[in-house]
Structure 1
Amino acid sequence: MSGKSAGRAFIGSFTSAGGLGITAVAVDRETGDLTVLGSTDAVADPSYLVSGLGPGGAVLYAVSETSEGAAAAFDVSEDVPRLLGDPQSVRGDGPTHLTLAAGHVVTANYGSGSVTVLPVLADGSLAAAASVVQHEGGGPDASRQEAPHAHEVLADPSGQWLLSVDLGTDSVRVCAVEAATGDLRVHGETKLSPGTGPRHLAFHPAGRFAYVVGELEPTLTVCAWDAAAGVLEPVTVAAVLPENVIAGEQGRSYPSEVVVSHDGRFLWVANRGHDSISVLTLDETGEKAALAATVGCGGHWPRDLALDPSGQWLYAANERSGNVTWFAVDAATGMPSPAGSLDLPAPSCVAFA
Structure 2
Amino acid sequence: MNSIFYIGCYTQMLSQDFGGKGDGIYTIEINNTSGKMRVLHMYSTTNPAYLVLSKNHQYLYALTEVSINENPKVKAFKIQEDYSLQLINEQTIDGDLPCHITYANNGLLIACYGSGNILLFPTKDNGEVLPSTQNFKHQGNSINLARQEAPHAHQAVVHPNGTDVFVPDLGIDLIKAYRFHNNALSAIKSNDIAVDKGGGPRHMVFNKNGDLGYLINELTGDISILKQKEGTFTFLKSVKSLPASYKEIPSGSAIRIHPNGKYLYAGNRTLDAITIFKIHGEDLELLSFQPTEGKTLRAFNIILNGKWLIACLQDSDEVIAYEITSSGKLLERSRNYNIISPVCVTSTINLQY
TM-score, scaled relative to structure 1: 0.92
Ranges in structure 2 where 5+ consecutive residues have no aligned partner: 13-19
| Match of residue 245 from structure 2 | 244
> Match of 2:273, as an amino acid?
S
- Residue aligned with 1:310, SS: helix
| 1:337 corresponds to 2:331 | yes
User: What CA distance in whole angstroms lies between the structure 1 residues aligned with 2:57 and 2:319?
Assistant: 25
Alignment of 1:270-309 (within 5 A): 270-283=267-280, 285=281, 287-309=282-304
> Match of 1:81, as an amino acid?
L
User: What CA distance in whole angstroms lies between the structure 1 residues aligned with 2:335 and 2:250?
Assistant: 23
| 1:75 corresponds to 2:78 | yes
User: What CA distance in whole angstroms lies between the structure 1 residues aligned with 2:54 and 2:7?
Assistant: 15
| Match of residue 49 from structure 2 | 47
User: What CA distance in whole angstroms lies between the structure 2 residues aligned with 1:148 and 1:38?
Assistant: 37
Alignment of 1:21-100 (within 5 A): 21-42=24-45, 44-53=46-55, 56-67=56-67, 68-77=71-80, 78-85=82-89, 87-100=90-103
CA contact under 8 A between 1:238 and 1:291: conserved in structure 2?
Answer: no
> Match of 1:66, as an amino acid?
V
- Residue aligned with 1:151, SS: coil
Q: CA deviation at 1:253?
A: 2.6
User: What CA distance in whole angstroms lies between the structure 1 residues aligned with 2:106 and 2:182?
Assistant: 6
Ranges in structure 1 where 5+ consecutive residues have no aligned partner: none
| 1:202 corresponds to 2:211 | no
CA contact under 8 A between 2:163 and 2:181: conserved in structure 1?
Answer: no
Alignment of 1:204-219 (within 5 A): 204-219=207-222
| Match of residue 163 from structure 1 | 166
Count of paired positions = 335
CA contact under 8 A between 1:117 and 1:184: conserved in structure 2?
Answer: no
TM-score, scaled relative to structure 2: 0.92
| 1:347 corresponds to 2:342 | yes
Q: CA deviation at 1:111?
A: 0.5
| 1:255 corresponds to 2:255 | no
> Over the residues paired in the alignment, what is the CA RMSD in angstroms?
1.4
| Match of residue 319 from structure 1 | 314
| 1:267 corresponds to 2:264 | yes
> Match of 1:51, as an amino acid?
L
- Residue aligned with 2:306, SS: coil
Q: CA deviation at 1:120?
A: 0.4
| Match of residue 14 from structure 1 | 10
Q: CA deviation at 1:290?
A: 2.2
Q: CA deviation at 1:183?
A: 4.1
User: What CA distance in whole angstroms lies between the structure 2 residues aligned with 1:45 and 1:160?
Assistant: 30
Q: What percentage of residue pairs aligned between the two structures are identical?
A: 25
Q: CA deviation at 1:350?
A: 0.7
